[in-house]
Homo-oligomer: A and B are copies of this chain.
Amino acid sequence: MEWNLSLFGFAGAALALIFAYVQSRKVFGYSEGTERMQKLAAAIRKGANAYLKQQYATVFKVFLAVFVILLILAATGNLNWFTPFAFCTGGLWSALAGFVGMKIATSANARTAQAASESLNKGLRVAFSSGSVMGFTVVGLGMLDISLWYTILRYGFHKEPEEIAVTMVMFGMGASFMALFARVGGGIFTKAADVGADLVGKVEAGIPEDDPRNPATIADNVGDNVGDVAGMGADLYESYVGSILATFALASTAGYGLAGMILPMALAVCGIVCSIIGSFFVKTKEEATQKSLLMSLRTGTYLAAVLSAVVAAPLTYFILGNMGVYVAILCGLIGGCAIGYFTEYYTSDTYKPTQELAASSETGAATVIIGGISLGMKSTMASILIVAAAVVISFFAAGGGADYGMGLYGIGIAAVGMLSTLGITLATDAYGPVADNAGGIAEMSGLGEEVRERTDALDSLGNTTAATGKGFAIGSASLTALALLVSYVDIVESQAALDLKITNPAVLVGLFLGAMLTFVFSAFTMSAVQTAAESIVVEVRRQFREIAGIMEYKAEPDYASCVSLCTKGALKEMVAPALLAIVVPILTGLVLGANGVVGLLGGVSVTGFAVAVFMSNAGGAWDNAKKYIERGNHGGKGGDCHKAAVIGDTVGDPFKDTSGPSLNILIKLVSTVSIVFSGLILTFHIL
């Protein structure tokens, strides 16, 4: 009797979703605090709801259009009939993952502030629990989606596992597409609000961050939820599912068949269990320092990783019998942690790079910008060397020297290994924006200095975990993208001969186009933030000018107008970059053929990875250099150095929260789009 892959998935999904539910009950058990706090929380909730509703409405139209195109492709025999429907479920569940995350985050922000007013540990627990809800919802829904489709295809349509693997690798497209909208749209919203609020509030009017007099402050807090929470949830849902499905597809090339598909599922289940265990170790003493807070989160995540590493050994032995594959899994786990460490090294102000960046503010804003850009570019070295080592070691350890396919399976499983403890890493990551919001609510509702200090401590920690989380996301994205590239080649080569020599002009030109796509996509997302932020600047200036008494706390600013401006801006600007990700691979294929598409995938993976690391780390370092100055270095808050650092931070905002993380998704979406449209490209192409 064959092993039932779905059972692993359903068990894992059940575990994760039940744990998420329990955590959400915990969060809702806390009080939302004073009336003022409840009112603020409600305003943020309302704004986030309204934005997501409109975002989904816009996305729905685009999905419908793509769905129809896919149906036509299926009807003309260029695509199997399952993909159009899988496209929709992928999108739906990815959206759901983001939505649940946003819901719990907007319910936890005031509760975290209230809990922090009681004790630091309580604040940490509430924020972390809400992060857990999102983390485990993402992995639970991912497992459920895979298992459901596998069950339908295997037992409903009686397909062979190998066939299912090749079919399901196309299913990632819907999730990726939704994730891209969520990341780009949310990223534009949050950074437009943030940049707009800072430019007028901090720089021109000289009022502090999250000051209730700033009309954009609610929009800024809404942005944390729709960008950093909902966007990230959709993003990592896609990474998680994508890495498993890519490994499925590689399993058959490696000759592992069903066992090669069971292993990633088993690993994922094992990761869920270990993450749950780890999450019980996240707690702190009352007199916690910044360092001990970080340690408490680290204990949880590292424990989960170590446990997973231990359990993965017997799992691999029993399921596959090839312990070289275990080495590949370890490469993923260790590589993820190493990227996390170097991300922290480059972006945390406890290390030299960010401190030197802060010092460069002594000679003005220009040197801060030059310094941040060069820091970000330098930081690509560590990440690329780690990924390079992970690729080479997992390929050869998994047997690539003797059998190409087995080696490539090693690369795929390394990505799964890196993401296996996603439940808890995402929890520590999603915790950040909740703590950030809690700080905002504490400030706006005038809670005491002591509470504000506690929420500041929680928030500052969140910046570090967010940077680490981004490192994980991009590291796994690069491995998954490579696995998808290989899957694409496998799928196409089964139908046509390819000439993938790098000196083939089609491949070479494809590489150039991949680099171009990366840069143009980044440009689009950056200028989208700029356009939207400029409209916020104009609106905030207008309110300061026209609504008398704002500055004296006598009149309340019109928060809703800023929220609605951000919404409009984000929805208007998110479509073009998303379409780019679909149109470019198809056009490349139609002109250059499949060889050109492979070049494109290589170019976008490589350049996209480098640019994403560059942007995320530069942005993180600018943010923390500013915070470092605010803590009294180089003249402290309000001095010339601080002004220069604020400019750096503002430039870094779209870098680290819009363009950088969107690139993670782009590099996978381009691959899945290419896979889905491969039938069409093989039929019609010029070269």
Contact = CB atoms under 8 A, between A and B. Distances in A.
Contacts of A646: 366
Contacts of A482: 508
B513 A384 contact: yes
Q: Interface residues of A: mostly helix, strand, loop or mixed?
A: helix
A515 B610 CA distance: 7
A592 B395 CA distance: 13
A310 interface: no
Contacts of A367: 195, 199, 530, 533-534
Contacts of A647: 364-366, 369, 647
Interface in A589-615: 592, 598-599, 602-603, 606-607, 609-610, 614
A62 to B, nearest CB: 23
Contacts of A507: 502
A381 interface: yes
Contact of A500 (B363, B366, B502, B533): B502
B199 A381 contact: no
Interface string A460-473: 00000000000000
Contacts of A373: 523, 526, 651
Contacts of A365: 365, 647
B366 A199 contact: yes
Interface stretch (A120-128, A142-150, A385-393): A385-393
B519 A400 contact: no
Interface of A: 195, 199, 203, 360, 363-367, 369-371, 373-378, 380-381, 384-385, 387-388, 391-392, 395, 400, 407-408, 411, 482, 485-486, 489, 500-503, 505-509, 511-516, 518-520, 522-524, 526-527, 529-530, 533-534, 537, 592, 598-599, 602-603, 606-607, 609-610, 614, 646-647, 650-651, 654, 687
30 contacts: A199-B363, A203-B364, A360-B534, A363-B534, A366-B651, A369-B647, A369-B651, A370-B529, A371-B530, A373-B526, A373-B651, A374-B524, A377-B522, A384-B512, A384-B515, A385-B516, A391-B512, A392-B505, A392-B506, A392-B592, A485-B503, A501-B501, A502-B598, A502-B602, A511-B606, A515-B609, A518-B610, A606-B606, A606-B607, A607-B610
B195 A530 contact: no
A10 to B, nearest CB: 34
Contacts of A654: 370
A387 B411 CA distance: 33
Contacts of A508: 391, 482, 602
Contact of A391 (B364, B391, B505): B505
Contacts of A392: 505-506, 509, 592, 687
A387 B603 CA distance: 15
Nearest to A388: B509
A375 B523 CA distance: 7
Nearest to A401: B687
B199 A527 contact: no
Given A375-B523, A391-B505, A392-B687, A515 B370 contact: no
B533 A606 contact: no
Nearest to A520: B381
A526 B376 CA distance: 11
A519 B377 contact: yes
Given A374-B523, A392-B506, A514-B606, 5 more contacts: A374-B526, A391-B505, A501-B501, A516-B610, A519-B610
A502 B504 CA distance: 10
A533 B363 contact: yes
A635 to B, nearest CB: 15
A377 B526 contact: yes
